[in-house]
A and B are shown apart, each in its own frame.
Chain A
Amino acid sequence: MRRSRLILWIFLAPVLMWLALLIVLPHLDLLVMSFRAKDEYGKMGFSLRNYVTFFTEPIYWLTFVRTAVYSVITTFFTFVLAMPVAFYIVKVVRPRFRGALLTLVLLPFWVSELVRVYGWMILLRESGVVNFLLKKIGLVDAPIRMLYTDAAMVMGLVYTSMLFMVVPVISVMDSLDDSLIEAACDLGGSTWSIWREIILPHCKPGITSGAIVVFMLSLGNYLTPNLMGGKNSLWFTEQIYNQFIASFNWNQGAAFGFLLLVLSSLIIWAGLRISRQKLGEVAS
């Protein structure tokens, strides 16, 4: 018995160190810092000022709302695009092409996000490849502004987080029995009703875990909104960065960070609640 205690501690000690020192303590520190501010004498003390600033300055909470709304839009588009792709790979294409298609779908996502965003910048900017080709075939006379718009930003976010929707949806769709769809077709079900009554309900767990991950990644993304979004439209992570690095107001930044953490945790909790899943199931 003593032996097995020893073994338990050999495994447990590094894990405890990791979680306590690098996860729990830093986030407690974040919380504490967010409630501290200088008073009128320049002395640090407990204060709600950082949060009051957030709610009274429209630029801050508008950015917050904007980030959340665009993340929801991104999640929706990712879902709409991922469903037919997954369906094609799992149910339509001949089985011998399946492995190759799956590999092709996964491959771009191993490449650094920065490289992918850079690729889109080369394609979309005014001197970019798409504008060059459009001019060449005579569709437009002057280059169109495509990069640095909200549409480009949402597209970039969809592109970046696509994989995290496709993979879980493919894995649940795999377990959908073909005979259910065949029976529905024999009984005269329309394509739309088959999707609504059979495929979507069956794929719900995969869609939920995909949506949670995509939403969270969009919310916390910095590169894509920063490099592809408009110059005067901020993402909330950029606000956090500005507070920390540009204004050096760490307490304000900590408050923003904590608010973002609360928002993302709330959405994830709600998503899990609605689909009656546990975090552990989604993670694996």
Chain B
Amino acid sequence: MIRSLPNSRTYIWSFRVFVILYFVFLFAPLLVTCVLAFNDSDFPSLPWNGFTLDWFFSPGPKRVGIFHDAQNLRSILVSIETALAVSALSVVVGTCAAFTFERERFPGKGPLYFLMLAPLVIPGVILGVSQLLAATTAGAFAETYLGLDLAVFRPSFWLVVLGQFSFITTFVALVVAARLRKFDRSLEEAALNLGATRLGVVRLIILPYLRPAIIGAGAVAFLMSFENFNTTLFLVGSQPTLPINLYLQVRDGSTPVINAISLLLIVGTSCLALCNLTFSSKES
């Protein structure tokens, strides 16, 4: 049954086969995507026609590799900009939220905490829709009463940033709050005894202590924003992010360029994920 008990060979082996099959299920789509990025064929499918790097480096005109594909490159850039803006914003506000809910006491804290968790259970599509509605209402309000035509309130880069920020901040807040909970209060008391101000304590003692959690949460926020589809779908303007752009291409038929982009994404995110895992396991 478990490793400390004597088990029959059939039990151990059948369990092993099951887990191997599970991992095949888990990795097959990713592996096939990566392999077919190098296939010398105009469609991402078998048979194998030989190895090629065309889908990465070919300048065209018949085959356009990803490094010459202006539209996809632009969407990658947009995604990176969005993700940087979202992670910067959500780290600042998320850390504030962690301090608010871990260290402060004020009336209405319980309901407010509940409200902060709400984005976890609101489907991403709904968040996108309601953000779109609210922005349009705000835009109409600004135009009728203030006579201003504000671009922020139309589907655009900043609306995407705000939409993603609205739920990613909750994740950041939870990660930072978990570390703040383990903080040794006597360090703070010692600093206060020695004449530090409260803001000085936050700046010189608590923030350095929180740094690993903040960096980790920032990395997760970056990834979540980079990959977000559901919320972004409704808020995107004339500058599509990478997931939106890929979606449009996949829906209307696919070329191995998508495999090449996927390969880059898989390698990139795996590196970031492994860094994050080793970093966090070293911390604990």
Contacts and interface: CB of A to CB of B under 8 A. Distances in A.
A187 interface: no
Contacts of A62: none
B233 A241 contact: yes
Contacts of B100: 8, 11-12, 15
A207 interface: no
6 contacts: A29-B133, A106-B273, A110-B273, A132-B45, A133-B46, A283-B174
Contact of A122 (B45, B162, B229, B230): B45
Contacts of B251: 226-227
B230 A94 contact: no
Contacts of B23: 104
Contact of A279 (B3, B19, B26, B114): B114
B92 to A, nearest CB: 7
The interface size bin for chain A is 35 or more
A260 B92 CA distance: 31
A171 interface: no
Given A14-B93, A181-B1, A279-B114, A8 B106 contact: yes
Interface in B112-146: 112-127, 129-134, 137
A194 to B, nearest CB: 7
A178 B130 contact: no
A114 B258 CA distance: 11
Chain B interface SS verdict (over half):
helix
A45 interface: no
Interface string A52-70: 0000000000000000000
B4 interface: yes
A26 B32 contact: no
Interface string B20-59: 0011011111101100100000011111000000000000
Contacts of B106: 8, 12
Contacts of B69: none
A240 B129 contact: yes
Contacts of B230: 220-223, 237
Nearest to B19: A88
B247 interface: yes
The interface size bin for chain B is 35 or more
Interface in A218-236: 219-223, 226-227
A181 B106 CA distance: 47
B258 A19 contact: no
Interface of A: 3-4, 7-8, 10-12, 14-16, 18-19, 22-27, 29-30, 33, 81, 84-85, 88, 91-94, 101, 103-108, 110-123, 127-129, 132-133, 159, 162, 178, 181-182, 185, 191, 194, 212, 216, 219-223, 226-227, 237, 240-241, 244-245, 250, 253-254, 257, 260-261, 264-265, 268, 279-280, 283-284
A106 B126 CA distance: 27
B41 to A, nearest CB: 11
A15 B198 contact: no
A16 B100 CA distance: 10
Contact of A116 (B18, B30, B112, B254): B30
A29 B130 contact: yes
B30 A257 contact: no
Contact of A223 (B137, B229, B262, B274): B229
A254 B133 contact: yes
